[in-house]
Amino acid sequence: MGLHRLTSITLAVPDVDASTGFFTDFGLRRSEHHPGRLATRDGGEQIELVEGPRRALPRLGVGAEGADDLAHIADRAARSAMAEVVEVSDACVSVRDAATGLLVEVTVAPPYISPESAHTFNRPGTTPERIDVPAESVLATDPVQPSNLTHVVYGTPDQPATLAFFTDVLGFEISDQIPGIIAFTRCGEVHHNVAIQAAPVAFPHHIAFEVDDIDDVVRGGQHMVDIDPERHMWGVGRHAIGSNWYWYLRDPSGTFVEYTSDIDRITAQDLYQPKEWDGHEFLYSFGPPPPPEFVEPADLADLIAGG
C-alpha cells in the first residue's frame, strides 16, 4: 500500500473560537503561523478549523509514500465515475467524492516519528517494568498530548459509493465491516483511518486522536470533563472492532472527539482474520452502553435540513 496515514482535516464549525478552546484543552497546540490550525505532538498541524453554518468535513488529507502513488490515484480517479479530479501535480492529487463532495488531498508525506512511551506496566507472569516507584501516570502533572490524528468516522447518504471511492479510487483497504452500515478502512497499518457509515446526510460523526495508553485516555478525558462536565459523551470503554480504548467528548460544534489507544495494527491483509461481529460488539466490547445521541446525534435534523 502506497498510502500510510492521515495528514490533516479541515473541520467546519459555527464558532471557531469555541472549538479552538475545546481542542487546546484536549491537548492540541495552536499554530504559531496559521490561525485556526492545531497540531498534535507527532503529526504536526493536523486540524484546520474554518467557519461554517453547521459542522462539516470539507477536506481530508492523506499521506502517500511517493510520487508514483499520486500518479496511480490520479489515473484511477480520471477513469472513475465515483470521483472528480480537482488538481494533479507532482506534489498533490486532489479528488472529490462524487457522492458527498468531500475533497481528499493526497500528498507525499513522511511517517510519524513517535517517542517511546515512558509509561511502564507490571503484569502477572512477566518481569516487572516498574519497581520501587509509583506508576508514571500517578505522578504526571503535564497535560495529555495526543500523538496523532488517527481516524475519522464519516457519514454518507450513499455508503456503497463512498466506500468504493475510498477503496477503488484512493486505494484504502477494508479491515472490518457491517455490510451496508459501516466499513472500517485503512491507509496504513492502523486498523481504521476512515470509517464510512450510512447516514441520511454527509457529516463527520467523530474524529479520534491516538494517545500513548489507557492511562492517557483516562487522564485526558477526566481533564476535559473537569473543565466542563457537559463535554462528556461516552466512555471509558473498549471497542471490539479495532480493539481500541475510547473516551468520547463533545466539541461545541457537535462533533464527537475521541481519545483512543491500543488500536489493532494490520501489516498483511491476508493474515488478518476478523470475526463475524454482531450485537453490541458493533459498537463496543465492554464499558457503559452508548447514549442514544451517539447513534443519532442531537443535531441530525439540522444537518439534514442544511444538507
Report if residue 130 sits inside a domain.
Answer: no
Report if residue 165 sits inside a domain.
Answer: yes
1 confidence band (pLDDT: 50, 70, 90)? low
Q: State residue 105's pLDDT score.
A: 98
Report if residue 259 sits inside a domain.
Answer: yes
Q: What is the pLDDT of residues 60-100, one digit of tens each?
A: 999 999 999 999 999 999 999 999 999 999 899 999 999 99
- Give the mean model confidence (pLDDT) for residues 281-299: 92
280 confidence band (pLDDT: 50, 70, 90)? confident
Dist CA 78 CA 66 (whole Å): 19
pLDDT exceeds 90 at position 283 = no
Q: Where in the sequence is the domain holding 288, given as residue range(s)?
A: 3-112+136-306
Number of domains in the chain: 1
- Give the mean model confidence (pLDDT) for residues 34-46: 95
Report if residue 267 sits inside a domain.
Answer: yes
CATH code of residue 108: 3.10.180.10
279 confidence band (pLDDT: 50, 70, 90)? low
Q: What is the pLDDT of residues 103-161, one digit of tens each?
A: 999 999 999 999 988 889 999 999 999 999 999 999 988 999 999 999 999 999 999 99
Which of 163, 186, 166, 175 has the alpha carbon at shortest distance from 5? Answer: 186
pLDDT exceeds 90 at position 276 = no
Record the pTM. Answer: 0.96
Report if residue 174 sits inside a domain.
Answer: yes
Q: What is the pLDDT of residues 159-216, one digit of tens each?
A: 999 999 999 999 999 999 988 899 999 999 999 999 999 999 999 999 999 999 999 9
Report if residue 22 sits inside a domain.
Answer: yes
Report if residue 275 sits inside a domain.
Answer: yes
Q: State residue 84's pLDDT score.
A: 95
Report if residue 117 sits inside a domain.
Answer: no
